[in-house]
Structure 1
Amino acid sequence: MPIRIPSDLPAQNVLSRENIFVMDTQRAATQDIRPMEVGILNLMPNKMETEEQFLRLLSNTPLQINVDLIRIDNQAPKNTPKEHMDAFYRDFDEIANKKYDGLIVTGAPLAHLAYQDVKYWEKMTVVMDWARRHVQSTLFSCWAAHAAIYHYFGQHRVLRDEKLSGVYPIEVQNERDELMRGFDPIFYAPQSRYGEIPIEVYQSIPELSVLASSAHTGAHIVASNDKRLVFVTGHPEYDPESLSQEYHRDMAANLSPKIPVNYFPDDDPSKPPMVKWRAHGSLLFTNWLNYYVYQNTPYDLESLSR
């Protein structure tokens, strides 16, 4: 079954060319089932690229999914046309009374700002508290994962001296958890961040379990015992060229970035990158939707409570 998105969302054409089944609103209305309701709070500057990445991952499931694109900052992002935001995004206040089976909160390039200095931090705290009452399971990605750990558990991140950038081997720590079902013992995932929360901090929180980690990246996937919160510190949604684009952007800005680890053959940025994370990225989101969302969410979303 497909994801359901607006008929004229540009991501629909991209996904269709990749033979990914997407359904527009008119066709979905003829199916007599209760679709899953999933929101994506997109904090990235390039909204359209991030939409495609996460919608691609959500598409690999037998469930029909209605997707709402959500914004909390009314300022037009410099990398996305205002017309696109106005046409396809809903302000958080518009959906604040709605309940969702699942919510994805993306990362954001805010590593060097204190949380309180982020212009929409106050609204972020409102959303995170709202999610505990209105969402069956919320998946926080990269910066959002660290922000949520700070908000829910009062634990601070630290900043690395150098950016963690590359595709790193990750080891499954709890193969019995449904989120890790079907994973190889060692899998790969892109990383692109300065922030880090030591693994010992996660392990000290009784409500949380570290499901996958590595010596290079620390904790990679962490989940609450009630399956309502998932924290992913890397970027399984990344396209093959995402790290390359970041590297060349930083080179052009004279930031002297290091070559992403385990990414370019022979560490040669002129060569096409090696892609070895997409299958497990897809599996992660399939497992999340099935075991953390669908298998636990009530049929009547209005009965959802903390």
Structure 2
Amino acid sequence: MPIKIPDTLPAREALRSEDVDLIDSSSASRQDIRPMKVLLLNLMPKKAQTEIQFARLLGASPLQVELTLMTTASYSPRNVAQEHLIEFYRTLDDVRDEHFDALIVTGAPIETLPFEDVKYWKELTEIIEWSKTHAFRRLGICWGAQALMKVIYGIEKFQMDAKLFGIYDHNLQHCSSTRLMQGFIDRFPMPVSRFTANQAGDIESAGLEVLAKSDESGVAMARCSRSGDLFILNHLEYDADTLGQEYLRDKEAGADTLMPEHYYPNNDDSQEPINRWRPYAFLLFNNFINELYQDTPFDLTQIKDRT
């Protein structure tokens, strides 16, 4: 089934070129099914790139997905046209009376800051609290996952000695979330790009299950078995060249960033990286949407706080 996005969203052409199944608003309204309503809180500076990455994964589901884009009102990013935000993005006040099957909170390049020093932290906290009764399930990516775990469970992040940067293999853990991880092999790759981490002991003490972790990069995914909320500390949604773009950007800026590990063939940055993680990205998001469809109430106004 297709994904419903705004008819004039610039990302539509890029998604069409990849044969992502799209549906326009008029066609969606004629289908006699309730679409899965997903709210994407996009905190990344490159909004269009992130829109494509997540729409691509959500659009691969056999279910119809209606994607709503969200931003913060208290902070306007500098790298995106204000007209784009006004036309395609909504704020908490815009959606306050609506209900969604899921809220996705993306990463953000602010992880070295204490949570309370983030300009929109108060607003983000309000969004997360609002979501407990207006979104059936939450999915956090990288800093977004850390923010969700901080607000809901009080789990702190900690600074690492150096940036964790590259493609790392992660081991699937024995857990109760068999539907979500169905089809995964015992060891699979994930892109990692962060300066901070969360301790496995803190996560488990809060009652969350660790789904995947690595000896090199630590915890990769965790989940609340009660609410079904999912916390992904890495970036399965990344394109093949995303880490390379970050690496070149840091080099040009004079930052002391090492070449991403296990990324370029033969550690030669003149060679094209190979996207070895994309099948697992599609698999995870497909499982997530299918599980959401089975668990969510048909009447979203009946959502109760299960955190």
* TM-score normalized by the length of structure 1: 0.97
State the alpha-carbon separation in 2 of the partners of residues 305 and 204 from structure 1.
24
State the alpha-carbon separation in 2 of the partners of residues 176 and 113 from structure 1.
34
Q: Tell me the CA shift for residue 38 of structure 1.
A: 0.6
**1:189 paired residue number:** 190
In structure 1, runs of 5+ residues without a counterpart are none
| Number of equivalences | 304
Amino-acid identity (%): 39
State the alpha-carbon separation in 2 of the partners of residues 229 and 175 from structure 1.
14
What code does the residue aligned with 2:204 have?
Answer: Q
Deviations 1:221-271 (A, max 9, x none): 101012431100000000111000000000001112111011101111111
**2:81 paired residue number:** 81
Is contact 2:176–2:225 with CA below 8 Å preserved after alignment? no
Deviations 1:117-166 (A, max 9, x none): 10100011111111111111110110011112121122211111111111
- For the pair 1:51 / 2:51, whether they are aligned, the reply is yes
- Over the residues paired in the alignment, what is the CA RMSD in angstroms? 1.1
State the alpha-carbon separation in 1 of the partners of residues 281 and 268 from structure 2.
25
State the alpha-carbon separation in 2 of the partners of residues 239 and 118 from structure 1.
27
- For the pair 1:216 / 2:216, whether they are aligned, the reply is yes
Worse-matched range after superposition: 216-225 or 238-247:
216-225
What SS does the aligned partner of 2:180 have?
helix
Is contact 1:102–1:289 with CA below 8 Å preserved after alignment? no
Q: Tell me the CA shift for residue 74 of structure 1.
A: 4.9
Residues 92 and 76 (structure 1), Cα distance of their counterparts in 2 relative to 1, 3 Å cut: same
Q: Tell me the CA shift for residue 198 of structure 1.
A: 1.1
Q: Kindly report which structure 2 residues correspond to 1:1-306, keeping only aligned pairs within 5 A, or say none.
A: 1-174=1-174, 177=177, 178-206=179-207, 208-291=208-291, 293-306=292-305
Deviations 1:66-106 (A, max 9, x none): 11101113543222111111110011111011111011100
Is contact 2:75–2:119 with CA below 8 Å preserved after alignment? no
Q: Tell me the CA shift for residue 176 of structure 1.
A: 5.1
Structure 1 stretches of at least 4 aligned residues deviating more than 6 Å after TM superposition:
none
State the alpha-carbon separation in 2 of the partners of residues 6 and 152 from structure 1.
31
What SS does the aligned partner of 2:30 have?
coil
State the alpha-carbon separation in 2 of the partners of residues 280 and 51 from structure 1.
19
Worse-matched range after superposition: 78-87 or 180-189:
78-87
State the alpha-carbon separation in 1 of the partners of residues 271 and 69 from structure 2.
35
Is contact 2:99–2:301 with CA below 8 Å preserved after alignment? yes
Is contact 1:175–1:181 with CA below 8 Å preserved after alignment? no
What code does the residue aligned with 1:182 have?
Answer: G
What code does the residue aligned with 1:305 have?
Answer: K
Is contact 2:175–2:209 with CA below 8 Å preserved after alignment? no
Q: Tell me the CA shift for residue 174 of structure 1.
A: 2.6
Q: Tell me the CA shift for residue 185 of structure 1.
A: 0.9
Residues 75 and 154 (structure 1), Cα distance of their counterparts in 2 relative to 1, 3 Å cut: closer
State the alpha-carbon separation in 1 of the partners of residues 260 and 152 from structure 2.
32
Worse-matched range after superposition: 74-83 or 124-133:
74-83
In structure 2, runs of 5+ residues without a counterpart are none
Q: Tell me the CA shift for residue 214 of structure 1.
A: 1.1
State the alpha-carbon separation in 2 of the partners of residues 12 and 157 from structure 1.
36
